[in-house]
Amino acid sequence: ANSATIQIYARVRPPRKTAGANSLPRAAPSRSPHPPEPEPFSSRYTIFPPSNPGSDDPKDPSRFPHLHFDVPKDADAGIVNNTKDSFDFRFDAVFDRDASQEEVFDVVAKPVVQSVLEGYNGTVFAYGQTGSGKTFTITGGATRYADRGIIPRSLQHVFAEVARHPESEFDVHIAYLEIYNEQGYDLLGENIADAAVESLARETRRLEDLPKVSLHPDPSDPSSFQLRNLAWHAAPTLPSALNLLFLGDTNRMIAETPMNPSSSRSHCVFMVQVVRRQTGGGTGTVRRGKLCLVDLAGSERISRTSLAGSTLLREARSINLSLHHLEQCIVALHEKSLGRRDHVPYRNSVLTCMLKDSLGGNCRTVMVATVVGE
């Protein structure tokens, strides 16, 4: 639980041995003045509801639910790595294994999407180890309509709001970026239709075949950055927006297969830019907002990944370093909101550079920490 502009949620998926491919982790709020005893879903973790949910003090830790983890001693080559056998973490909300995709979207992402429609920037990103449910949370499952993730539900909400406000004109544009080893790639390219057909026909399509995206300082504002060679595509309707998502995911999946078929080794950022012009009443007001939905690469301990070969080892190091820089920015933003510091180290990685205008400040930033319950 952080400042008003940075919210952190946890989502727990079931243990792998009992979890299906599309298992869903449940917000377990307690509305009773006397919270029930916490339910141990496994021998490793316990979800505790807020002990004082009615508190008006935003800094009161008893307002928030928390996760308690029991961590067995980790002996690697005879050395015990962890000195603590239990940990407690507070969150703005905890979703347990029964939570639906709709519940997660309504609590986590819907307020952010709504603020984007009102002219603000916002970011939702999923963070966790490989296989903990990040991609399922952000993109969703492919087998059931109810399994749609945050991205398709966000698009649906945007176009529902467009339909509800005929007095306004909306321009919606979409870009889809993948960051692998600190290099950006455009998943939607310029010739999107031809590229999609070609990628489906060529099983050996490589990530390096996609247009490379570069970051440069903004001439009008040296503290900001511009993304060059990243194509933005108009999406006048919900079907056209979903088609762009599908085509980008197709390029992403086929690009990753030759490198690592079992897990994502890159960050993916789906961006939606909304421009709203108020045509009714003669005000002429223009509002601009940008939504970034981020599926982060899996966070792993290199010692546990059984990495063999320089490529996989380089990937893991790049991922962990990039996630470390993102963590530094989140911590710095929180300290800045408390008046403890001024500088936020955005320049340390490609990911934080490109998210600069969508993190902290007047932006809405949400992190979903995905956890495997085993």
Feature table: binding site: 128-135
Q: Are strands 364-372 and 6-13 parallel, antiparallel or unpaired?
A: parallel
DSSP string, 101-152: HHHHIIIIIHHHHHHHHTT--EEEEEE-STTSSHHHHHTB-SS-GGGB-HHH
Q: Of the candidates 180, 133, 178, which has an alpha carbon nearest to the alpha carbon of residue 319? A: 180
Instruction: Kindly give the pairing relationship between strand 221-228 and strand 212-218.
Output: antiparallel
Which of 151, 126, 178, 154 has the alpha carbon at shortest distance from 326? 126
CA atoms of 306 and 303, how far apart (whole Å): 7
C-alpha–C-alpha distance, residues 285 and 167, integer Å: 12
Q: Exposure of 81 by Cβ count < 10 A (0-12 exposed, 13-18 middle, 19+ buried)?
A: exposed
Q: Could you tell me if 99 and 30 are in contact, meaning their C-beta atoms sit under 8 angstroms apart?
A: no
Sign of CA dihedral 254, 258, 262, 267: negative
Which residues belong to the annotated binding site for ATP?
128-135
* HSE (side-chain half, CA atoms, 13 Å) at 122: 24
